[in-house]
Amino acid sequence: MIIYSNFITSESKDSLKTYENHYLVCENGIISGIFKVLPEKYKNLQITDYSNKIIIPGMTDLHIHAPQYSFRGLGMDLELIDWLNTYTFPEESKYNDIEYAQKAYSSFVKALKNSSSTRACIFATVHNEATIMLMDMLDKSGLITFVGKVNMNRNCPKSLCEIDAQTSIDNTREWIESASKFKNCKPILTPRFTPSCTDDLMQMLGKFNLPVQTHLSENLSEIEWVSELCPDAENYADTYYRANLMGNNSIFAHCVYCTPKEIELLKQTNSYIAHCPQSNANLASGIAPIRHYLDNDINIGLATDIAGGANISMFRAITDAVAMSKLYMRLVDENAKPLSFAESFYLATAGSGSFFGKVGKLEKGFSFDALVLDDSKLENINDLQLTDRLERIAYHLEDRAIYAKYVNGIKI
């Protein structure tokens, strides 16, 4: 496949590289190169012409809750624990009803397919049947995803509480076996967070050889609660570390209040942080020190965190990350340089994408995940550089600019 257009990708964490009027060659879903002049060996192949459009890498949403999509934008005047009890847990309890789950998950998958996300790491609920249904829908959507059946055996409503650790593990094994048939959607262990999982459950989950996603240090009340529940743990992160749940295939959402020791543990284990700027603001959780994480070479990506975040667009996550970093500089640490647009774009593409491997850049050897963007609806009085056009898309059009979408070289 050969595509002619204008291309923008991250050259580094803080700089963008542009290719104006170039050819991108993709073979078997992998980028072979980007060329100003098409090499002779490709001369007779058909060319897809996206002149005047902009093509960027697909974005990876590193943390999103599928069952919460149905109540996005509600309860934004509450903080985390009250919001969970008022909206989240009552809604997730409904997914025991497979007909309701089918209706709700169909809506979510349709929205995700049409969004700026080409890949995602997704929370489901504790219900095996509904989770497999979600995975089946996603597998057929063309997106590439990880989905997790949630584990919870304490501090949650009876309708969501697994009887004990062994029952939760048995349910998890059954779910993993059922999920083995999927090609594009893979299982990821999902202990919701320490307050909802007993120590023995966490220890048992740590024996599985699978990726992990959970929450860490999102809210001050949550952190205090963890210290009461796990008095022998050195800190919140330690509750996961001692259960063998931290590593380069582990994602920790939020990380707003991580201590120096926790930050060192995240770096030491090559774990990932999923930055959720809109959610952190909506639930009054706080402002994560993203500049510190980025400058210390910690694996970090961007996420919408539906429904703590009310918007499924990763473009919105990019602009919110920039805005929140400015507030962090003004209100918390005046020496913390705010994120540039290029840095936030990196987090949404290469930063998040690296969890899936060579994903998130338009470079040779990377999977061809891409968004074709049309900004013709935006009047430009002045001639703009490609990067200026991209920034205006992020702030003004968001996902409405998407003209076409590719995942692993396949147009969806």
The last residue of one of the domains, among 356, 380, 402, is 356
Is 73 found in the same domain as 188?
A: yes
List the CATH number of the domain containing 230.
Answer: 3.20.20.140
In tens, the pLDDT along 123-140 reads 999 999 999 999 999 999
CATH number of the domain enclosing 364? 2.30.40.10
Residues 242 and 389 in one domain: no
The domain boundary, picked from 320, 340, 356, lies at 356
Token pair 């060329």 in the structure block, residue: 35
Mean pLDDT over 371-380 rounds to 94
Q: Would you give the DSSP letter of residue 337?
A: P
State the Cα–Cα distance between residues 21 and 311, nearest whole angstrom.
32
Q: Which two tokens stand for residue 52?
A: 């005047």
Confidence of residue 23 (pLDDT cuts 50, 70, 90): very high
Residue 310's φ and ψ, nearest 5 degrees, are: -95, -5
Domain end among 315, 336, 356: 356
Q: What is the pLDDT of residue 210?
A: 98
In this structure, are 46 and 6 located in the same domain?
A: yes
Q: Are residues 343 and 383 in the same domain?
A: no
290 and 381 share one domain: no
Report the 10 Å Cβ neighbour count for 11. 15
Regarding whether 73 and 49 lie in a shared domain, the answer is no
For residue 114, what are its two tokens? 């049409």
Give the mean model confidence (pLDDT) for residues 145-170. Answer: 98
Instruction: Specify whether 53 is located in the same domain as 82.
Output: no
pLDDT digits (tens, 9 = 90+) for 395-410: 999 999 999 999 999 9
pLDDT confidence of residue 380: 82
361, 366, 369, 371: CA torsion to nearest 10: 40
H/E run at residue 404: strand 402-407
Number of domains observed in the structure of the chain: 2
If asked whether residues 68 and 53 sit together in one domain, one would say no
Give the pLDDT score at 382: 85
Q: Are residues 184 and 235 in the same domain?
A: yes
* pLDDT score at 15: 98
Distances (CA, A) of 287 to 181, 333, 336: 40, 11, 12
Say if residue 173's pLDDT is above 90. Answer: yes
- 124 and 198: one domain? yes
pLDDT value, residue 381? 83
> Do 147 and 50 have their domain in common?
no
Instruction: Name the residue range of residue 131's domain.
Output: 59-356
Residue 187: its H or E element: strand 185-187
pTM over 0.85: yes
Tens-digit pLDDT profile for residues 253-282: 999 999 999 999 999 999 999 999 999 999
Domain identity same for 187 and 302: yes
Q: What percent of the chain has pLDDT over 90?
A: 98
pLDDT tens column, 179-204:
999 999 999 999 999 999 999 999 99
